[in-house]
Amino acid sequence: MEYQFLEGQPFWIVYSALFGIVFARTQATYWIGRGLGAGLHRSRWGARLGSRLERAERLIDRFGPPVVTVAYVTVGVQTAIHLVAGAMRMSFPRYLAAMIPGCAIWAAIYSLGGLAVLAVWWNVFLHSPVLAVALVLLLAAAAAAAATLLRRRRAAQRGDAEPSEPVAG
């Protein structure tokens, strides 16, 4: 997907435009799904499914929000996830709370060239799957190390760090 009209624009304009585009697209998809879900409930299928449909809706409402957020980093299933969230009547506040960070992530990926990085990784994977997996593991280890270091620094700043020697009392 190319957004040539955004070429040469400042980052904040590109990011904001992409955020708006994905926000509008997923809202439309969710509400189309809500309409389809309403039709399902009034149909013979809805009557046949009965309590099974209601149970599925409760499960999706409860466990669906993280799936909605993660959907933004996937390719090929985003629309289906948003459509199902609407059709299965995920509560709008829960959907919105999951959708907004997802939109932010998606806009960041597209505006910061994340797809180019993904394309390079895929090329590496096609030539050497072992190297591609090693790169992912290395990146994960670096992220974990950075998170641990940050957590320790914050704890030390708050004075929560465990003393290295017992305190005499």
* Residues 9 and 48 placed together within one structural domain of the fold: yes
Which of the listed residues 95, 112, 129 is the one where a domain comes to its end?
112
Domain membership flag for residue 33: yes
* Residues 95 and 119 placed together within one structural domain of the fold: no
Give residue 63's pLDDT.
81
- How many domains are there within the chain? 2
Cα separation, 34 vs 131, in Å, equals: 44
* Residues 36 and 106 placed together within one structural domain of the fold: yes
* Residues 29 and 54 placed together within one structural domain of the fold: yes
pLDDT, one tens digit per residue, over 101-154 is 999 999 988 887 766 677 777 788 888 989 988 988 888 788 788 888 888 888
Q: Which amino acid belongs to residue 156?
A: A
Average pLDDT over the chain reads 83
Q: Which of 114, 96, 103 is nearest to 21 (CA)?
A: 103
* Residues 55 and 36 placed together within one structural domain of the fold: yes
CB-based contacts of 5, cutoff 8 Å, min separation 6 = none
Residue 91 pLDDT greater than 70, yes or no = yes
- Domain holding 34, by residue range, is 4-112
Cα separation, 84 vs 101, in Å, equals: 19
